[in-house]
A = this chain, B = another copy of it.
Amino acid sequence: MEITFLGTGAGVPSTKRNVSSAALRLDSGEVWLFDCGEATQHQILISSITLSKMTKIFITHLHGDHIFGLPGILGSRSFQGGESEVIVYGPKGLADFIDTAIRISGTYLRYPLRIVEVEDGIQVNESHFSIKVALLEHGIDSFGYRIEERDKAGTLNVEKLKALGVQPGPIYQKLKSGSSIKLENGQTIHACDVTGPTIKGRHIVVCGDTRFTEKTIDFARNADVLIHEATFSEANTRLAYEYYHSTTVQAARIAKDARVEKLLLNHISSRYQESDVVGLVEEARNIFENTDLMEDQTSVQIPLRKASST
């Protein structure tokens, strides 16, 4: 899995940072988009992402810098031949926005489009993932999404099975799914004796714009990656509170208390210049060492967790 940041700025585009969007590329090749500010499709044009592979879009909240790229990206995906269904998740009001833009502009979509308006606490279960949703604190409804890749069974020890006289066949699948089997000689083989350690699924938490809230700590608990806004520096903690945003240090505190593996900061105010970035990262790292501040077109690999035995 890899996440590519397409827009890491706040509020309005600048020449250095576009408005919000990030694309998660799954091992299957599918792309899941998080937020879609204006010109997200333009950012995709200069990235290695293929629009037709985009199958889900998660909208954290309805502010323009997070949604104004939606009508265009949906239309262009059709124009480029995308035919598979797209599901867009987001707050109440999202369907009205998308439907109106598509209808008024006469945009033709050659693929099915489904819009799912989410609520605090809901969970969506997919075959390989579950998706959890939490309401954060931003004046208007702003959500975090927790993407949990399901754990996978460890690798079968084929050598050991053959030594036991078990030949490949449906029995292998049974063992792989965790069941025990009984051989003709009466011997019972437990799955755990012939499979390697479970491959832990990765958990990625993407937060929308938000004030610091304790709730995020629970929501991000033990995640592999936490993507959290850091609109302001610590010096502007008061401004952050007034405008329902977070500081670098607040994001780092959440990462630390939630014991996440890695913290990626985005949604950086245009008041900060390139030369300020070192300082912004530094104040976060003082709290939580494994922090990086994202730039547009930065890609971050999300490695498999260290294996643990079943």
A→B interface (CB under 8 Å): 11-15, 18-19, 38-39, 41-42, 45-46, 62-64, 67-69, 71-72, 75-76, 79-80, 93-94, 96-97, 100-101, 104-107, 140
Provide the residues of chain B in CB contact with A76, threshold 8 Å.
12-13
Provide the residues of chain B in CB contact with A75, threshold 8 Å.
12, 64, 68
Q: How far is the CA of A11 from the CA of B42 in the complex (A)?
A: 13
Q: How far is the CA of A46 from the CA of B14 in the complex (A)?
A: 9
Q: How far is the CA of A93 from the CA of B79 in the complex (A)?
A: 23
Q: How far is the CA of A68 from the CA of B42 in the complex (A)?
A: 13
In the A-B complex, the 5 residue pairs with the smallest Cβ-Cβ separation, listed nearest first, are: A39-B39, A64-B105, A38-B72, A100-B100, A97-B104
Given contacts A41-B38, A75-B64, A79-B11, contact A97 B101 (CB under 8 A): yes
Q: How far is the CA of A19 from the CA of B79 in the complex (A)?
A: 14
Q: How far is the CA of A13 from the CA of B38 in the complex (A)?
A: 12
Of B11, B67, B100, which contacts A96 at CB under 8 A?
B100
Q: How far is the CA of A93 from the CA of B15 in the complex (A)?
A: 32
* Residue on B nearest A66 in the bound complex, by CB: B105
* Residue on B nearest A63 in the bound complex, by CB: B105
Of B71, B93, B96, which contacts A64 at CB under 8 A?
B71
- Are A14 and B97 touching (Cβ within 8 A)? no
Provide the residues of chain B in CB contact with A63, threshold 8 Å.
105-107
- Are B107 and A15 touching (Cβ within 8 A)? no
Q: How far is the CA of A93 from the CA of B103 in the complex (A)?
A: 10
- Are B104 and A62 touching (Cβ within 8 A)? yes
- Are B97 and A97 touching (Cβ within 8 A)? no
Can you list 17 A-B contacts (CB < 8 A)?
Answer: A12-B76, A12-B79, A12-B80, A13-B41, A38-B41, A38-B68, A38-B71, A39-B39, A39-B42, A63-B106, A63-B107, A64-B71, A64-B105, A94-B104, A96-B100, A96-B104, A97-B105
- Are A68 and B71 touching (Cβ within 8 A)? yes
Chain B nearest Cβ from A212, distance in angstroms: 22
Provide the residues of chain B in CB contact with A62, threshold 8 Å.
104-106
